[in-house]
Structure 1
Amino acid sequence: MLFLVGIGHLIWDTEMFRPLSTPTRLPPTAEHPFGTDTQGRDLLAIAILGTPLTLRIGLIAGIVAISLGTVAAFLSAYYRGVIDGAIRSVVDVGLAMPALLILILVRINVGRELSTDEMGIAIGLTSWVFPARTIRSQVLVMREQAYVELSRLSGTSGMGIIFKEMMPNLIPYITASLVASVAGAILASIGLEAIGLGNLSDPTLGMTIYWNIQFSSITLGMWWWWVPPLVAIVIVFVSLFLISSGLDEWSNPRLRKRV
């Protein structure tokens, strides 16, 4: 993971991701450890460039989703009343609608390729309802705690209670939700790109799968073309799972290992 995201571009010529920069259909060799595709692109260069791009989409989408979801959750759970009813209605409708289908319709109606950042924002705008519901349930429990009630009786404003008393205690949970949102966004982006709705010029993991499908790499027997993106995807999700597990252990004392 560190090699693909951090140091790979420092020790490998990533310019070989361009078409016709290498011989075509080469199996893995010393010069091209991951081989090359039918367009003459080095697959190691594509993996080194594509993994960070895919993570970028996930991070942008996760930050957008968590930001909107957290704001909606606090407004809904703390202030209740009409605000709570309106937000819960929007969340319920959003949860009932297939997010991937909405993204497909958005991409088709835009009429052009979405950039990496635009895809991340679009995914985030369609997925904020998931963290909104889970964070709201946590805020509802915390709202009834004695220290929150004491702050309310002492005259602290609602926003003051949210930012000074409640938010710090929910940071571990919100961070864990961010990791989950990033993982979901990466999966959504790969799905969109695999069916050809990504940016054709970006060497992301999803677009690598798309080109595999377009050029029938399995039929051609080019196993070295489809294996690297799948391995990279597995590495990304395992890494995110380990991060999420660590955050759960940090936020929940009962999960901490005894020394």
Structure 2
Amino acid sequence: MLVDIEDARPLSAPALRAPSWDYPFGTDRQGRDLLAVMIAGTPLTLRIGFIAGFLGVGLGTVLAFIAAYYRGVLDTLIRGVADIGLTVPGLLVLIIIAVSLKGTLTVNQMAIVVASLAWLYPTRTIRAQVLSLRERGYVEVARLSGMSGPAIIFFELMPNLLPYLAATLVNAVSAAILASVGLEVLGLGPIDAPTLGMTLYWVNFNAAMINGWWWWWAAPTVIILMVFLGLFFLTVGLDEIANPRLRRSA
């Protein structure tokens, strides 16, 4: 069975059809084939998560290495900003940012909004890992051999942290998807994009649960759960690589 992605547009199918052979996921009140909406919207939701995750972990990694390796005033400043940022209710800040951009928000802009706070936790956790590694013997040998700070970071510290950074990235992607879905359910996302979160917004806007249109909310909910479950298992696998003690205990 082939699905036309154009059926994700409004008025492309009969409205409010329950799941059937012609429309396996049913249709919504706007006349959209929900299977087409899921096929079009899932990559958009994942794009938001991956863009925000990469930006957050990328910035967090740079700041963490600078703070932990060079210490001093930079460490105090970066650690202080990260700690203060983590005490502020993140969703509230994201809501304020999204509200100020409402009306012009695109999928990529949504990712940047989420990424604006996505660097805080990685900065804190990666910094702790670098602080531990910088005291290892091989790092001291590298210093005594005349290697520069950036060279030690890229050739001695970074390779040892790659599994941990990968696990941190997956966690950041999960958190970014959760944050974006939360904002979109409130109507603060890209209003014209068929993301999973915006689909749930229209579910709420049209009172689909009250009216018994269960197929409208079931499809995006199940797919969101599957995405999080897949990312969870990926995180578990990466954690076992990053932490040998987990492999021994298993």
* Paired-residue identity, %: 54
1:61 aligns with 2:55: no
Which whole-Å CA distance do the structure 2 matches of 1:245 and 1:133 have between them? 20
Aligned residue for 1:72?
63
Aligned residue for 1:6?
none
**Letter paired with 2:245:** R
Distance 1:168 1:11, change over 3 A: farther
Aligned residue for 1:209?
200
Q: CA deviation at 1:50?
A: 0.8
Aligned mate of 1:185, from 176, 188, 194? 176
CA RMSD of aligned residues (A): 1.5
**Letter paired with 2:123:** A
Aligned mate of 1:160, from 147, 151, 163? 151
Deviations 1:143-180 (A, max 9, x none): 10000011011111000100000001001000100000
Aligned mate of 2:245, from 251, 254, 257? 254
Which whole-Å CA distance do the structure 2 matches of 1:111 and 1:211 have between them? 17
- Indicate the SS of the match to 1:244: helix
Which whole-Å CA distance do the structure 2 matches of 1:111 and 1:16 have between them? 26
- Indicate the SS of the match to 1:78: helix
1:234 aligns with 2:228: no
Which whole-Å CA distance do the structure 1 matches of 2:101 and 2:184 have between them? 15
Q: 8 Å contact 2:94–2:114 — kept in the other structure? A: yes
1:81 aligns with 2:78: no
**Letter paired with 1:32:** Y
Please report the TM-score for the alignment, with normalisation by the length of structure 1: 0.93
Which whole-Å CA distance do the structure 2 matches of 1:196 and 1:142 have between them? 44
Superposition misfits of 4+ residues, deviation over 4 angstroms = none
Deviations 1:202-252 (A, max 9, x none): 000000100000000011110000000100000000000011111112222
5+ residue gaps, structure 1: 1-9
Aligned residue for 1:44?
35
Please report the TM-score for the alignment, with normalisation by the length of structure 2: 0.97
Q: CA deviation at 1:58?
A: 0.2
The count of aligned residue pairs is 250
Q: CA deviation at 1:136?
A: 0.5
Aligned residue for 1:113?
104
5+ residue gaps, structure 2: none
Q: CA deviation at 1:255?
A: 2.7
- Indicate the SS of the match to 2:204: helix
